[in-house]
Amino acid sequence: MAHLANSQIHSQENQRSPSRYGYRGLKSLLTHFSINLSLVSAYRRLLLLTLAGLPVVVLSALIVKTAIAAQLGARATGPALRIATKLDPNNGDFHHRLGIVEFYEVASEPGNNNMGILELQRATDLDSTSSLYWADLGRACETKSDFKCADIAYEKVLALSPMRPRSYWQSANYYLRTGQQEKAISGFRRLLNLDPDYAASVFSVCFGALDSPWTFYNRILAGQPNAILALQFAGFLCARGKFDVAQTIWDRTISHAPNLGFEKANRLLDLLFEQGRYGQALGAWKRLVELGLVHSLPGESGNSLVFNGGFESQPLEAGFDWRVGEARYLAVDLASSEAFEGHRCLSINFTVEQNEEYEPVYQFIPVIPQTSYALQAYTRSSGITSECGPRLRVLDPENPRVPDVSTPGTVGTTSWHEIKAFVRTGPKTRIVRLSVWRPRCLEYPTRISGTFWLDKVSLTPSL
């Protein structure tokens, strides 16, 4: 037994002492130790790779999270936007859009849109430089009658965007709605200075809100470097029946800015004609002549009421000068060189054979009621085929029956010759329309073609 115990002791010692077994035992021990070291190295490399890749994993997760938030934020629904703000809480755009949705979706439910206000405020906290966020917050606060909040918001809008016209449009409208007239007037004046294209909108908003048209003119338009704004306002007033104020503002404007030119000053004339205000239109026309915006023509008959009767100046096609109307199948030349007198005349070429009524050229002429006038002109023709040739016609546009007078028609081929007629105005006739007229024909041949010339047209009081 003692011998057996000693053998076990020696065996354990031999296991702990490889030298007892020589080279083979040592090799076995080293192999076992090497395997253990390899496992440790593998674990270490795995740990290092894991630690090194952790930021990439975290970054990837953030990218995915942000992408999901962006997709949800693009949806204009409350639930999607709420999730987007949770995933990306520092994105002011998500809070802004959520605020808009929550405020206006439940605007009909009093007290339930406070969350919308909070979201809009959160957007301005995250990005205090966005005038859009402040403007939307201002509108929401005004809707809730929180005018202190709205005042601050619109002040921010103007401070952040002092050169942006829309900022003044939004804030000035707010000030006008809330009775802050001085701020509103200042804002609208600055707006029109920055962008005159807002003129029509500003006129419409302020027309009924301010005391009178003169308040608007004196406080907002007077002294503006762009005088066209005042002319536009005069036209705006004329279209709404404020003729006297309109003409006074118009006259004051062109008197101080005569270099505006006829085209810009003519808008009021057109409106007065459209409204049948011929007396005021004549007053405006005379004022344009006085200022040199309409030039009197040398050589015109001093007592003739026809303006530019010899077509020596290119017609303005406005006011009391010649105008060109519908000219289908016609070639109208207002500067033909084949004149009876001077250098120019009117020619009308009927290019396609038709039996239609034509009135391609006309002019309005102021007259006196119950007065006799002599109408004279010179015409010639080439190959006018119809028995109903072109002629001159005079009628009252307000009462076409009195008067309604025309000269004989010109037919065939003729040299220059005089045409004339006598006109008696009615008891209420204030203006007549003088035109080149070809009536629809009932006599054969009915269709008209050929060329007609006209020159030296006059309408003079008959003694």
Q: Domain 70-263 - what CATH class?
A: mainly alpha
What is the 3-class SS of 185-238, one letter each residue?
Answer: HHHHHHHHHHCHHHHHHHHHHHHCCCCCHHHHHHHHHCCCCCCHHHHHHHHHHH
Check whether 188 has a pLDDT greater than 70.
Answer: yes
| 229-276: pLDDT as tens digits | 999 999 999 999 999 999 999 999 998 887 888 888 898 999 999 888
Check whether 72 has a pLDDT greater than 90.
Answer: no
Choose between 345 and 45: higher pLDDT: 345
Domain locations in the chain as residue ranges: 70-263, 323-461
| 304-353: pLDDT as tens digits | 999 999 999 999 999 999 999 888 889 999 999 999 999 999 999 999 99
The pLDDT value given to residue 35: 46
Kindly state the greatest CA–CA separation across the chain.
173
What percentage of residues in the chain have a pLDDT greater than 70?
Answer: 80
Tokens of 144: 């809730």
CB atoms within 10 A of CB 458: 18
Fold for 323-461, please state it.
Answer: Jelly Rolls (2.60.120)
Confidence of residue 138 (pLDDT cuts 50, 70, 90): very high
Cβ(372)–Cβ(456) under 8 Å?
no
Q: Which of 367, 377, 378 is nearest to 423 (CA)?
A: 367
Q: Calculate mean pLDDT across residues 98-122.
A: 76
User: What's the rounded Cα separation, in Å, for the pair 103 and 93?
Assistant: 15
Lowest mean pLDDT among 6-15, 116-125, 379-388: 6-15
Q: Calculate mean pLDDT across residues 280-295.
A: 90
The pLDDT value given to residue 77: 67
Whole-angstrom CA distances from 224 to 29, 166, 341 are: 103, 19, 47
The pLDDT value given to residue 112: 61
